[in-house]
């Protein structure tokens, strides 16, 4: 037990007591990293309750309205919310991606305008990175922001897979501002209001019937100088900072898997399948791997310096998302043909878990990152940049 353990235990106890006592807004469900369209109003109400009770922005510094919680406390929060089938906030993009980036790169004015209103649930954000021809190869993105004479830019392009875009108030946009420059200086980063003229959002229906993704078209969209996050040409650095935070957040989702496995064991007993040796073996293997991953996550975030070990977290993101998919597949083994027609929650989990190994960097790309940046193996061949 580390010296911080009693503090974490106290935090967990207070969190559990609050979560047990709180009267949930009607219709609140665990929608995962992003609410579907119909969840958005209740997600805002939930975020407001978290803010009022001091549970919003756990990782953010206190001076920016957050709680300044340690990584171990954040993990405890993730587990306690999972245990009660509750989401952690409005959306991962809003509270876990936007916040740290605006804190690191934003002006005082941007921090005042965006941080606390987001924690209060008044602002929801979407991430405008991926394009039809640029996902893993993000540096190949084509959306252009051309400087205008009077200051500011005009943006044109097409984004895709933008989670939460139909109800988002602001977008986190990366666009080319200097096509001649090498990757490091080619892009700039903007905080763009989604209701600005020229932005059209076309929702996409997912495999599980929910609407979380969208295509976003930008047609001569005016970007003001105050929309710029960081400096002109600093967009690649800002985007990579955000992707690093995203991988940490996605790896943290593994903390919810043990709860899903517990639910499955209960269901297996109810369905008379808990004696099935194959199910027992698969379940036990997954629980063991989930526990190992949980401890690896703890080792990565509870470091002597207090700074997360990003090398280990890369491995956690890779393993956690693959495990999520295998846990998602297990209900079918329990319920058999009743699976698809029966508990809709299980079928949805199995379907949405397919995306876990793609979001925030696919498994193959994650393996490249680990081999090159963690193990120091030779870089794979790349085009000129």
Ligand X SMILES: Cc1cc2nc3c(=O)[nH]c(=O)nc-3n(C[C@H](O)[C@H](O)[C@H](O)COP(=O)(O)OP(=O)(O)OC[C@H]3O[C@@H](n4cnc5c(N)ncnc54)[C@H](O)[C@@H]3O)c2cc1C
Q: How far apart are CA 238 and CA 129, in angstroms?
A: 12
Q: State the minimum distance, in angstroms, from the CB of residue 364 to ligand X.
A: 3
Cα separation of the two ends of the chain = 48
Eight-state DSSP code of residue 116: H
Q: Which of 103, 133, 136 is nearest to 118 (CA)?
A: 103
Q: How far apart are CA 1 and CA 39, in angstroms?
A: 39
Given a contact cutoff of 8 angstroms between Cβ atoms, the answer to whether 198 and 173 are in contact is no
Closest CA to 137 of 373, 372, 376, 364: 364
Which of the ranges 22-30, 109-117, 121-129, 316-324 carries the binding residues for ligand X, by CB under 6 A? Answer: 121-129
Beta carbon nearer to ligand X, 20 or 372: 372
Footprint (CB under 6 A) of ligand X, residues 124-143: 126-127, 129-130, 135-136
Stretch that binds ligand X, among 191-199, 286-294, 298-306, 363-371 (CB under 6 A): 363-371
Instruction: Give dist(CA 339, CA 355) in Å, integer.
Output: 20
As measured in angstroms, the least distance from the Cβ of 204 to ligand X is: 11
Smallest separation (angstroms) from ligand X to the CB of 67 = 25
The CB-of-6 to ligand X minimum distance in angstroms stands at 37
Q: Which of 307, 190, 194 is nearest to 244 (CA)?
A: 307
Q: Which is nearer to ligand X, 70 or 91 (CB)?
A: 91
49: burial class by Cβ within 10 Å (0-12, 13-18, 19+)?
A: middle
Return the number of other C-beta atoms located less than 10 Å from residue 21's C-beta.
Answer: 8
Of the two residues 148 and 240, which places its CB atom closer to ligand X in the complex? 240
The footprint of ligand X on residues 63-102 (CB under 6 A) is 93
Catalytic residue among 73, 80, 246, 260: 246
58 and 66 Cβ atoms separated by less than 8 Å: yes
Is 368 a binding residue for ligand X by CB under 6 A? The answer is yes
Q: Which stretch binds ligand X (CB under 6 A): 18-26, 112-120, 257-265, 354-362?
A: 354-362
Give 131 or 302: the residue with its C-beta nearer to ligand X.
Answer: 131
Window 260 to 319, contacts with ligand X (CB under 6 A): none
Q: How far is the CB of 163 from ligand X (least distance, A)?
A: 3
To the query of whether residue 260 is one of the catalytic residues in this protein, the response is no
Catalytic residues: 246
Contact residues: ligand X, CB under 6 A: 93, 126-127, 129-130, 135-136, 161-163, 355, 358-359, 361-362, 364-365, 368
């Amino acid at each position: 037990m580390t010296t911080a353990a009693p503090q974490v235990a106290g935090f967990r106890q207070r969190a559990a007591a609050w979560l047990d006592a709180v009267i949930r807004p009607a219709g609140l469900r665990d929608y995962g990293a992003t609410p579907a369209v119909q969840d958005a109003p209740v997600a805002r109400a939930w975020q407001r309750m978290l803010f009022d009770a001091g549970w919003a922005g756990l990782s953010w510094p206190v001076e920016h309205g957050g709680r300044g919680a340690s990584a171990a406390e954040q993990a405890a929060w993730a587990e306690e919310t999972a245990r009660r089938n509750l989401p952690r906030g409005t959306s991962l993009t809003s509270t876990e991606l936007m916040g740290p980036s605006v804190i690191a790169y934003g002006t005082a004015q941007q921090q005042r305008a965006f941080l606390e209103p987001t924690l209060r649930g008044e602002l929801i954000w979407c991430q405008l990175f991926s394009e039809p021809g640029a996902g893993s190869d993000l540096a190949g993105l084509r959306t252009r922001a051309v400087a205008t004479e009077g200051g500011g830019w005009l943006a044109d392009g097409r984004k895709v897979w933008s989670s939460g875009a139909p109800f988002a108030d602001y977008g986190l946009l990366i666009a080319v501002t200097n096509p001649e420059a090498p990757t490091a200086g080619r892009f700039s980063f903007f905080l763009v209001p989604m209701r600005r003229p020229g932005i059209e959002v076309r929702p996409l229906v997912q495999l599980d019937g929910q609407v979380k993704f969208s295509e976003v078209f930008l047609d001569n969209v005016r970007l003001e100088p105050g929309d710029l996050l960081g400096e002109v040409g600093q967009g690649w650095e800002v985007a990579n900072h955000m992707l690093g935070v995203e991988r940490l957040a996605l790896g943290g989702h593994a903390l919810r898997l043990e709860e899903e496995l517990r639910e499955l064991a209960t269901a297996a007993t109810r369905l008379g399948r808990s004696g099935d040796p194959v199910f027992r073996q698969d379940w036990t293997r997954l629980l063991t791997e989930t526990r190992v991953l949980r401890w690896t996550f703890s080792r990565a975030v509870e470091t002597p310096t207090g700074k997360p070990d990003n090398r280990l977290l890369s491995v956690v993101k890779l393993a956690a998302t693959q495990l999520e998919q295998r846990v998602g597949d297990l209900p079918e083994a329990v319920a058999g043909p009743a699976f698809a027609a029966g508990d809709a929650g299980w079928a949805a989990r199995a379907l949405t878990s397919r995306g876990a190994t793609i979001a925030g960097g696919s498994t193959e790309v994650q393996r490249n990152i680990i081999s090159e940046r963690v193990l120091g193996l030779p870089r794979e061949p790349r085009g000129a940049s």
